[in-house]
Structure 1
């Protein structure tokens, strides 16, 4: 049984207008996403800014209540569960946010921040919680003395380590990593990534790893899902996706990866046009519409649900993006 199963998940936000602020349209941030995640696995999620990656992550851990579809965690449907019903489940589902400066309360000490999950879940005595905080700091490579300091006294990489410590405090089974290194210096990114890999091996964690950089995703992920305008357009094992991408958007993202050799030149698929609005997405294939592909009209009215081309390799069967 999969640890996490997402079926046709939708997250639509109302767009209000007029004097009475009535709902006049919907912003389809996530529009029919399906995938599963096994215990101990890392699924990378990539795509341009605004494609719905973060919204998907927040919907899965129920920071946002989905407007459609379902999320099953360990076989339990948590899509419409109340806050009281979710409390036991939240011990096993945590999130690491993109900007640690914003996600950590500046008025709380590190001890307060790391003790809070235990207090909310009513675990341990005051002495036990202090011991657990010291152990968490040790696991993420920070000194015990850090517990009496405030987040603003640390560097960006150290703050993110505090965020990671908070995420692993309750020994979860799933962590949604929302671009955990994008706000950090390049020299620090590898340290944080290696920390996440070490913690995964030690604790048997599963990651939904959201990122922009495909090289980072390849380093971290067992499988990779490519997202465009609220939908997954390709899903495959990492090595397969990087070796043989089938969707035109995936190929364009791979072509954009910098080559660490200024003398090396290679052909690139330059993206043209603008990303369509999620408030009024085009019919058929949104990427084909953006590129003005001559076969885009063939995709209008088609069932563009993911199709398994080879074992484990799923792609949106669009005639203008896959040539089928």
Structure 2
């Protein structure tokens, strides 16, 4: 359904009296991925690694600097807003903070009805029924339609955001950390709702999160992102059972385990995340941990390689076990 090839999103850095460009923030720097029909692709990584920027560029809220985005065989990378508007019915986004993404001056009915008005769908009576049906679908009562976002809890506001995203019956959704700001009990409700909606409407999800335990619950495949690049990609069971990249292992070691009898060695990362304005010339993660083989990676092709069927990992000697590095070279 969706394919991104060598996608880049760079933001100019300007300085001086004439505000000339002196550099660029390389938020997304050469990402390739695919999303199938009815599939959930989890996207994980630390804050600031480029996850949200990637999601926004895929739904064309941001224009990519380079690369290609293909939706159902059509190149949508640089098409204009007039051509893009009818396509927006097929892909929508659930934003991270519903308090910020919902206009506080509009009541819930106006918020959920707005996509119908923009795309000139239905008359007043039909739109009223559609809104009531959408609120019922996400577990809200019809009386909620006449209230305002600030009158609801965080979980209820997120349900309003989901109803709004579903209004035009899209084919796929970007879920940008939809549960990160919610209580644990509410998180499970929203996650279960998303799973049920996927089954009912055959939706595809790009599910962005930094909590790997949440991603495991909903994802078919998981992509691990570090400093604007995908460093590992596999089905969720493989990622959790047999991670290959050192960064993936560090992320997994930080996931809490409910059973106090189970002990897990935590991997404490040293150093700081490199700046996306001036990223290292070689392995970004190797530079962070001051790996002895870092200098070898300068100028090296660190792109993803298939180490096992369906399991892709960056060809980086700083981040792989010796045996895995030798396998990937062979």
TM value normalised by structure 2: 0.96
Aligned to 1:86: 84
1:257-299 per-position Cα deviation (integer Å, ceiling 9, x unaligned): 0122445432221111000000000011100110011111111
Normalised by the size of structure 1, how large is the TM-score? 0.98
2:149 maps to what in 1? 151
SS of 2:106 mapped into structure 1:
coil
Q: Return 142-151 or 297-306, whichever deviates more.
A: 297-306
Which of residues 73, 76, 80 in structure 2 aligns to 1:75? 73
Equivalence for 1:184: 182
CA deviations 1:221-258 (Å, max 9, x no partner) are 00000000000000000001111101000000000101
Q: Unmatched 5+ residue regions in structure 2?
A: 326-330
> Separation in 1 of the partners of 2:259 and 2:33?
36
CA–CA separation in structure 1 for the residues paired with 2:299 and 2:221: 29
Structure 1 segments (4+ residues) deviating >2 Å: 261-266
Alpha-carbon distance in structure 2 between the residues aligned to 1:259 and 1:185: 18
Instruction: Quote the Cα distance in structure 1 between the aligned partners of 2:176 and 2:4.
Output: 17
* Alpha-carbon distance in structure 1 between the residues aligned to 2:146 and 2:259: 45
Partner of residue 307, structure 1: 305
3-state DSSP of counterpart to 1:232? strand
SS of residue in 1 equivalent to 2:206: strand
Question: For residues 241-252 of structure 1, what are the structure 2 equivalents within 5 Å?
Answer: 241-252=239-250
Please name the residue that 1:29 is paired with: 27
Matched pairs, number: 322
SS at match of 1:274: coil
2:223 paired residue number: 225
2:258 corresponds to:
260
1:158-307 aligned within 5 A:
158-262=156-260, 264-307=262-305
Aligned partner of 2:120 in structure 1 is 122
Q: Secondary structure at the match of 2:270?
A: coil
* Cα distance in 2 for residues equivalent to 1:111 and 1:53: 31
Cα offsets for 1:93-140 (capped at 9, x unmatched)? 000001100000000010100110011111000100000000000000
**Bigger shift: residues 305-314 or 50-59:** 305-314
Q: Which residue of 2 aligns with 1:19?
A: 17
Match of 1:97 in 2: 95
Partner residue, 2:132? 134
Please give the alpha-carbon distance, in whole angstroms, between the structure 2 residues aligned to 1:309 and 1:126.
56
Unmatched runs of 5 consecutive residues or more in structure 1? none
